[in-house]
């Protein structure tokens, strides 16, 4: 991954060349998050309701709507600093659409239309705040991380952050251009989101890597004290608002889930006869589909990671390969033979059930478990409750609850005991569910 960057000077010397001097970066304070607003259905604003001089209105509108943080030119590479005009308030938390409008013009706009404009303003304002944080990731963390991370390690942690930066830079640029050209009273916004919807698919790559990247980052912090010092030092910088690096890495995942909510708020405040209604409805549908695709891609990726991990620790020799196309991990946990108390470990997949025994010592090939018996295809498995009557009095509901159940495979009955009542219920539910799926829809 290659990101064009502006080099910043270093001045603090230590064994790893830790840079604590900082440089020129965009100051983003912790209030850069616009508050949500309700958005009821509203009628279309009629131009005849503006009882003021049109030329004067236009002049005031231009002056009041200069809230852009970017130039009009399309940016082909990630920018490092988003210049903020002097007349834009730094306190974005308190800024609303109505606070940027001329008072005389605001009075001429119906209250229903104001709600719609507030919803559109929130989409743009939160996009601006989000993009600032994306650039912060690059400026503050990615730039100097090469002193502590190899390029492969940077690729794991930062993934395709450069694709996200390009995508959202272009999206915000078009939204702010529309906002500025229309004097802060935006007639349509759905068409802009539809234009950039395809590029939002790059979030699939980032989100699917997030879980692994988080684990890798934590492991790296524990192993490399200078890398940890670097991250803690960066956290003290004003633009980081005392937030840890992991907070910023989570933002893209949160942002892609928020687009449907923001678009639905705009849709709810846009009358059906409004020219933007159909566009916003289409944009909402696309945003939901993208989110579903991202979730499915993430689920598949994490399943593959889990399957690879299990293949390394379960000795499947002589019974076939564990990680095969279409096989999905469902759950696992400690189980016991009901009579002997022999400790087992169950692994449930969407097509087979594996009962394994933990090895007492590490296998020379790295295995931690050996099969108790051959994998059981779920289409030939049934599960039965095992009810036992105890003659001993019990004063505890949990202690008297039977934790046993039976697994029947090819007429062979295995009496099993779960480690807790919760675990038993979970095993029974998942086994019955996936056995039914395999038996009735193999």
Taking only the tens place, the pLDDT of each residue in 197-214 is 999 999 999 999 999 999
Spell out the domains of the chain, with CATH numbers in brackets: 90-308 (1.20.900.10), 316-387+402-439 (2.30.29.30)
| Whole-number pLDDT of residue 388 | 53
418 Cβ partners below 8 Å, 6+ apart? 333, 335, 336, 403, 404, 405, 424, 427
Evaluate if residue 60 carries a pLDDT over 90: no
Q: What pLDDT band is residue 431 in, cutting at 50, 70 and 90? A: very high
| 320-365 per-position pLDDT tens digit | 899 999 999 999 999 999 999 999 999 999 999 999 999 988 778 8
| 159-176 per-position pLDDT tens digit | 999 999 999 999 999 999
Name the phi and psi angles at 63, rounded to 5: -70, -35
> First CA to last CA across the chain, in angstroms?
43
Q: What pLDDT band is residue 410 in, cutting at 50, 70 and 90? A: confident
Residues 82 and 169: beta-carbon distance below 8 Å: no
| Whole-number pLDDT of residue 400 | 53
3-class DSSP state for residue 418? strand
Task: Tell me the pTM.
Answer: 0.69
d(CA 324, CA 328): 9
The residue ranking higher by pLDDT, 157 or 107, is 157
| 113-165 per-position pLDDT tens digit | 899 999 999 999 999 999 999 999 999 999 999 999 999 999 999 999 999 99
Q: What pLDDT band is residue 37 in, cutting at 50, 70 and 90? A: very low
Q: DSSP states of 170-229 as a string?
A: HHHHHHHHHHHHTTT--S--HHHHHHHTGGGGGHHHHHHHHHHHHHHHHHHHHH-HHHHH
| Whole-number pLDDT of residue 54 | 43
Q: What pLDDT band is residue 387 in, cutting at 50, 70 and 90? A: low
- Cα atoms in the Cβ-side hemisphere of radius 13 Å centred on 31: 8
Q: DSSP states of 317-330 as a string?
A: TTS--S--TT--EE
225 Cβ partners below 8 Å, 6+ apart? none
Rg (CA), the chain: 29
3-class DSSP state for residue 20? coil
In Å, what is the CA distance from 191 to each residue of 171, 188, 194, 276, 279?
11, 7, 5, 8, 6
Evaluate if residue 370 carries a pLDDT over 70: yes
d(CA 80, CA 92): 21
Q: How many residues does the chain have?
A: 442
Q: What pLDDT band is residue 385 in, cutting at 50, 70 and 90? A: confident
In Å, what is the CA distance from 358 to each residue of 152, 313, 343, 364?
34, 10, 8, 14
The closest of 78, 83, 67, 79 to 26, measured between CA atoms, is 83
| Whole-number pLDDT of residue 222 | 96
d(CA 409, CA 8): 66
d(CA 106, CA 61): 10
Q: What pLDDT band is residue 440 in, cutting at 50, 70 and 90? A: confident
d(CA 156, CA 399): 47
d(CA 56, CA 103): 13
SS3 letters across 55-95: HHHHHHHHHHCCCCCCCCCCCCCCCCCCCCCCCCCCCHHHC
Interval 367-374 mean pLDDT: 94
112 Cβ partners below 8 Å, 6+ apart? 40, 41, 42, 43, 45, 269
d(CA 334, CA 418): 7
Mean pLDDT estimate for the chain: 81
The closest of 181, 172, 197, 185 to 276, measured between CA atoms, is 185
In degrees to the nearest 10, what's the CA dihedral of 352, 356, 361, 364? -30
């Amino acid at each position: 991954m290659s990101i064009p960057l502006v080099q910043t000077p270093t001045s603090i010397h230590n064994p790893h060349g830790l840079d604590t001097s900082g440089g020129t970066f965009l100051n983003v304070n912790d209030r850069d998050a616009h508050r949500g607003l309700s958005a009821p259905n509203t009628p279309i604003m009629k131009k005849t309701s503006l009882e003021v001089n049109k030329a004067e209105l236009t002049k005031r509108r231009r002056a009041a709507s200069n809230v852009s943080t970017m130039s009009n030119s399309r940016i082909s590479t990630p920018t490092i600093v988003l210049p903020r005009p002097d007349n834009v308030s730094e306190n974005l938390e308190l800024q609303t659409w109505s606070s940027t409008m001329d008072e005389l013009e605001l009075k001429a706009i119906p209250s229903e239309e104001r709600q719609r404009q507030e919803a559109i303003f929130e989409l743009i304002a939160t996009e601006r705040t989000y993009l600032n944080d994306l650039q912060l990731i690059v400026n503050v963390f990615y730039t100097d991380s090469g002193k502590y991370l190899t390029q492969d390690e940077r690729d794991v942690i930062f993934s395709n952050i450069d694709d996200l930066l390009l995508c959202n830079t272009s999206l915000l640029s078009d939204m702010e251009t529309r906002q500025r050209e229309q004097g802060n009273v935006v007639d349509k916004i759905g068409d802009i989101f539809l234009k950039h919807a395809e590029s939002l698919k790059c979030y699939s790559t980032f989100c699917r890597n997030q879980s692994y990247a988080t684990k890798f980052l934590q492991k790296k912090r524990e192993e490399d004290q200078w890398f940890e010092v670097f991250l803690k030092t960066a956290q003290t910088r004003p633009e980081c608002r005392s937030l840890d690096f992991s907070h910023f890495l989570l933002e893209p995942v949160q942002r892609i889930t928020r687009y449907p909510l923001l678009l639905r708020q705009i849709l709810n405040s846009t009358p059906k006869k409004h020219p933007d209604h159909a566009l916003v409805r289409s944009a909402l549908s696309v945003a939901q589909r993208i989110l579903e695709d991202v979730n499915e891609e993430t689920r598949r990726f994490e399943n593959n990671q889990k399957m690879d991990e299990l293949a390394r620790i379960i000795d499947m020799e002589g019974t076939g390969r564990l990680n095969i196309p279409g096989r999905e991990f469902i759950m696992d946990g400690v189980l016991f033979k009901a009579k002997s108390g022999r400790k087992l470990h169950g692994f449930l997949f969407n097509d087979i059930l594996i009962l394994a025994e933990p090895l007492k010592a590490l296998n020379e090939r790295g295995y931690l478990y050996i099969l108790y018996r051959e994998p059981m295809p779920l289409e030939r498995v049934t599960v039965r409750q095992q009810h036992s009557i105890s003659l001993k009095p019990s004063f505890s509901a949990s202690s008297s609850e039977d934790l046993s159940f039976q697994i029947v495979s090819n007429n062979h009955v295995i009496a099993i005991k779960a480690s807790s009542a919760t675990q038993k219920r979970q095993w029974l539910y998942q086994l019955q569910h996936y056995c039914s799926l395999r038996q009735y829809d193999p």
